[in-house]
Amino acid sequence: MKYGLPLIALTFSLNVLADDHIIPAAPSSFENFPYSTMSADGIETLNAQRERRSLHTFTKVKYAHKSDMDLHLTIIRPELRQELGETEENSQYPMIVYVPGSAWFKQDMDRGLAQLARFAERGYVVAMVEYRPSPLAPFPAQVEDAKTAIHYMKAHAKQYLGDPNNMIVWGDSSGGHTSAMVGATLDTRDFDDTTKPTIALKAVVDYYGPTAIDQMNEEPSTYDHIQPNSPEGMLLGGVNVLENRDKAKLANPMHYVSSDESMPPFLIVHGDKDRLVPFGQSVMLFETLKQHNQPARMIRLHNADHGRAPFWQDDVLDIVDNFIQRHID
């Protein structure tokens, strides 16, 4: 038999006679399948390792249509390791709904794919959320879209091997803001444009997200956060932020934090040399959560700017992973 024969020819060849014995073509489990005895001088042997997982990526998964725009998810799902006994029935992975940062403008859905794939290898389903950009739909559209995406992933959990009872929201920069807004408004159901049951989340991970956007110019920053064409001004509808503090208040997750609300635990990670979103934005959120007896942990990433490699180093991802594992079932 020559290598490279079509699959149909290969399948047929397994049923030919060999020394008067029929070689069966029936499926065989990995454990029972024999090792090949073929060899040749010079072949090197390396044992197969299974600590890392293969991944399956689904792109352009439509989850909603709003403002004449299709909204999509990019979903990264671990592949089952069938040789280790993993099946669809016994393998469900915690689901992370991830909101990429974009200053609330149009998102680049491919930008963080490689980093998130590294985290999915740890045994998570990760769904990256595309939301409506602020020039098309100002606040609270982004929070509404994130909640719609969470509802979608819960409803389609089985399709992606996800556990609908263990869901986490995570975002960076403007996506961190959106994630914090989602976590702070679960009980109140503000900005939930569906009639589906209340969202239950196990944790919120906020990477360097803005919070009090009308105070962002009170700390050193290389960005203007006040003018109508600034990211914050556009988020509020193309207005001067300081002249519209009532709108800014509604876009502040701290406005919704109370001691009476049942909130998921927050993990906040922020660089203390962030040139775009001042470090104090996360400090205020952390202090507000603690003042209202809400579970929260904050990590100061010393000498880190706004995002990039320091936030994806192994020790930081270990912190995120361990935080999530402590709070899931």
Q: Of the ranges 15-29, 57-71, 172-186, 225-239, which one carries the lowest mean pLDDT score?
A: 15-29
The residue written with tokens 């352009």 in the block is 60
- Asked if 89 and 59 touch (Cβ cutoff 8 Å), the reply is no
Per-residue model confidence (pLDDT) at position 7:
43
Per-residue model confidence (pLDDT) at position 24:
60
Q: Which of 165, 288, 322, 147 is nearest to 215 (CA)?
A: 288
Q: Is the pTM of this model over 0.75?
A: yes
The pLDDT tens digits for 222-251 are: 999 999 999 999 999 999 999 999 999 999
Residue 35 forms part of a structural domain: no
Per-residue model confidence (pLDDT) at position 26:
66
Q: How far is CA 67 from CA 64, 70, 125, 136, 207, in A?
A: 10, 8, 28, 8, 28
> Given pLDDT bands bounded at 50, 70 and 90, which one contains residue 21?
low
Q: Which of 213, 192, 4, 188 is nearest to 104 (CA)?
A: 213
Residue 43 forms part of a structural domain: no
The pLDDT tens digits for 244-288 are: 999 999 999 999 999 998 899 999 999 999 999 999 999 999 999
Per-residue model confidence (pLDDT) at position 193:
80
Query: Distance (Å, rounded) from C-alpha 10 to C-alpha 6?
Result: 6
Per-residue model confidence (pLDDT) at position 313:
96
Please tell me whether residue 191 adopts helix, strand or coil conformation: coil
* Domains contained in the chain, number: 1
Q: Which of 173, 304, 280, 272 is nearest to 216 (CA)?
A: 280
Per-residue model confidence (pLDDT) at position 20:
55
The pLDDT tens digits for 281-307 are: 999 999 999 999 999 999 999 999 999
- Asked if 204 and 170 touch (Cβ cutoff 8 Å), the reply is yes
Per-residue model confidence (pLDDT) at position 328:
97
90 or 18, higher pLDDT: 90
Residue type, 259: S
Per-residue model confidence (pLDDT) at position 237:
98
The residues near 80 (Cβ < 8 Å, ≥ 6 apart) are 86, 87, 88, 91, 161
Q: Of the ranges 2-16, 43-57, 66-80, 142-156, which one carries the lowest mean pLDDT score?
A: 2-16
Judge whether residue 1 has pLDDT over 60: no
Determine the structural domain holding residue 190 and report its residue range. Answer: 55-327
Average pLDDT, the chain: 91
Per-residue model confidence (pLDDT) at position 167:
98
> Given pLDDT bands bounded at 50, 70 and 90, which one contains residue 29?
confident
Judge whether residue 10 has pLDDT over 50: no
Mean pLDDT of the region 204-227: 97
Q: How far is CA 155 from CA 112, 161, 195, in A?
A: 25, 12, 13
Q: Which residues pair with 98 in a beta bridge?
A: 128, 170
Per-residue model confidence (pLDDT) at position 25:
62
Residue 34 forms part of a structural domain: no
Residue 268 forms part of a structural domain: yes
Judge whether residue 324 has pLDDT over 80: yes
Q: CATH number, domain at 162?
A: 3.40.50.1820
Residue 234 forms part of a structural domain: yes
Residue 26 forms part of a structural domain: no
Please tell me whether residue 289 adopts helix, strand or coil conformation: helix
Judge whether residue 53 has pLDDT over 50: yes
